[in-house]
Structure 1
């Protein structure tokens, strides 16, 4: 038999448990049911604006001197004078090297004396011819000897001119390869001369772009020894595509009066193939790819709305949209996987979205 006191305690405890369970049920009933996802999400957005897009191809080329030549001797003679320091700026026609010409000058002096003698003989023969003292054939023999001497003197003068080696164009010399007193042979390199006021940028484009490059078109390029971006204009286009590489050889010209571009350097070239004005460009991460079409999440009246779009050209970070969006539309660029159509969106501006 249960004591009366213990029975009372058991009854009172059960009453308290029942009251607690009833209160918990009422709170659960009054509390609204929550969805599986959040009631709203925060997302960075991008505002669609009028912009332009350029289709560009990246190529590798080389910097080449506008004019470059190896100065050589045309004769085997002793070098008697060097008329410039290494690395000097020289003008067109400036004397660079002087070769020994003593023997040529002596030979020319000898021929001049012979001509003077023959000229006097010709004068006397002409007088005798008028008096019929000699035949016309004899006179012509004397006169022709003067012509022979003139031709020989001209030949010696040409050889004398070749003892003075001059700059064929204005430019800067390199490191000379000979010293005064050296005996130089024909075609022996003496020094390199380069015109660096302008430089040529040589590169090749794949054949599929061959018809989209034209003379006067501007290119941009960078070189390893500088952080600057330089500009050049297409000057020459090879008339045919190379059969081995299936590429079209192109030569552009850039100003180099500052002397920053060094011949032989590699050039990273950006060639614009086309430009599209007044178009829509959105960040790549805003695009939702699909099997049949692409779409974006539009934020309208504070809620996410899925919109199908038509796309065009692509860059490394952006996609051209040709249909489905209008200037001023706001699209989501983050939290896209968590968003569902109709969910409230707390928009966060992102100025660097593109």
Structure 2
């Protein structure tokens, strides 16, 4: 009976030992599995690709007249007529101001009379000279008198011409500063004349982009409170960079047949600084990590995050243009950046 109990106890002990060994083995396997599969940070990524880009710069500009002059008088005379309405369109050669020329016209009549008499006198003396009835000296005096009177007439006609102030080109006349009856003095601005079709857009290009703008290059511009964008073509580039602003002055010409554009209007000018074969990589701005030395991004390689420095060419609120640091096909992280460090294991959740 005693041997039977001992045998039972031994069997129970053996069973307990077997169960304990199995439990330890299971726990060891679980620990081993946990070590083999560490935690991976879930992230969203974007697989980038190099594409042809057109980098657009935006600067402030102004609309200016194609040509603009201050109409002035060359002589001091009273204005007897104003030949235009303020703000009206005038054509080339149109009379703008007529100055008093009564005394000049009277002198012209006198000179014409003297000239007619001198012509008759010269012809008579010339006939007498052929018969040796007069001396050569008398003929020379008569001829000189005729030439002098002709010069006097020419001079008077020039003075009379100065009393007719006309438009040198077609354009919009401003507000007159002189009126009928007032005295026009030499150099006094009477009115300003603007040629507004075509119209010019003046803007400045930073020194670093000075080589990107060329004559005949197309640009676009917009105006305040106007949704439409207008096209223009670069027609003139200043020969030197302004040493104060470190910028290059550029003029672009645009059509203004409808007169919608006015000189002095402010404009937003858009011009390209990219060449036709310029390539770049665009990434979302949330992928950028600012630092003391610039910007960097996390690139996923072999299941871990690798920090990569990048150089920005341009950026907007939603996108950044990368010129250096990334290559075609790189996988760039765009989420969970604050929880990521160099070499952090990651699990890609979504790829854009």
TM-score between the two structures when normalised by the length of structure 2 = 0.75
- Return 156-165 or 47-56, whichever deviates more: 47-56
User: Helix, strand or coil for the counterpart of 2:273?
Assistant: strand
Instruction: State the partner residue of 1:104.
Output: 104
* Gap regions ≥5 residues in structure 2: 1-26
**1:167-178 pair list within 5 angstroms:** 167-178=167-178
Q: How far is the alpha carbon of 1:108 from its aligned partner?
A: 0.9
**C-alpha distance in 2 between matches for 1:292 and 1:90:** 58
In 1, Cα distance between equivalents of 2:41 and 2:249: 58
Q: Aligned with 1:151: secondary structure?
A: helix
Counterpart for residue 52 of structure 1: 52
Q: Does the 8 Å contact 2:81/2:180 carry over to 1?
A: yes
**For residue 64 of structure 2, what is the aligned residue in structure 1?**
64
Instruction: Select the residue among 285, 295, 298 that pairs with 1:296.
Output: 298
More deviation, 181-190/334-343: 334-343
- 1:298 deviates by 4.9
Q: Which residue of 2 aligns with 1:319?
A: 321
Q: Verify the 8 A CA contact 1:40 1:346 in the aligned structure 2.
A: no
Larger displacement relative to structure 2 (188-197 or 265-274): 265-274
1:225-264 paired onto structure 2 within 5 Å: 225-264=225-264
Distance 1:186 1:311 in 2: 65
Residue 346 of structure 2 is aligned to residue 347 of structure 1: no
Which residue number corresponds to residue 131 of structure 2?
Answer: 131
Asked if 2 retains the 8 angstrom alpha-carbon contact of 1:53 and 1:281, the reply is no
Structure 1 residues 268 and 72: alpha-carbon distance in aligned structure 2, compared to 1, 3 A threshold? same
- In 2, Cα distance between the equivalents of 1:185 and 1:289? 66
Judging changes above 3 Å, is the alpha-carbon distance between structure 1 residues 157 and 117 closer, same or farther for their aligned structure 2 residues?
same
Bigger mean CA offset, 258-267 vs 63-72: 258-267
- Would you say 1:214 and 2:217 are equivalent positions? no
User: How do 1:81-230 and structure 2 match up within 5 A?
Assistant: 81-230=81-230
Give the match for residue 12 of structure 2.
Answer: none
How far does the alpha carbon of each residue in 1:179-222 deviate from its partner, in whole angstroms, 9 at most, with x for none?
22222222222211100112223333343433343222333333
Q: 1:267 to 1:134 in 2, by over 3 A?
A: same
Distance in 2, matches of 1:255 and 1:293, equals: 43
In the alignment, structure 1 segments of 5+ residues that lack a partner are: 1-28, 350-354
Inter-CA distance 54–145: structure 2 relative to 1 (3 Å threshold): same
Corresponding residue number in structure 2 for 1:282: 283
Distance 1:224 1:166 in 2: 35
Residue 274 of structure 1 and its aligned partner are, at CA, apart by 2.1
- Matched residues in 2 for 1:158 and 1:89: separation? 27
Aligned-CA RMSD value: 3.5
**What secondary structure, in the 3-state scheme, does the structure 1 residue paired with 2:84 have?**
coil
Question: Take 1:223 and 1:293, find their aligned partners in 2: how far apart are those partners?
Answer: 35
Q: Give the Å deviation of 1:292.
A: 11
Identify if the C-alpha distance between structure 1 residues 321 and 114 changes in structure 2 by more than 3 Å, giving closer, same or farther: closer
Count of residues in Structure 1 that have an aligned counterpart in Structure 2: 313
Give the Å deviation of 1:67: 0.4
Query: Quick one: distance in 2 between partners of 1:82 and 1:321?
Result: 63
The 1:193–1:229 alpha-carbon spacing in structure 2 relative to 1, beyond 3 Å, is: same
How far apart are the structure 2 equivalents of 1:70 and 1:81? Answer: 18
What is the CA–CA distance in structure 2 between the aligned matches of 1:202 and 1:227, rounded to whole Å? 20
- Please report how far the alpha carbon of residue 141 of structure 1 lies from its aligned counterpart in structure 2 after TM superposition: 0.3
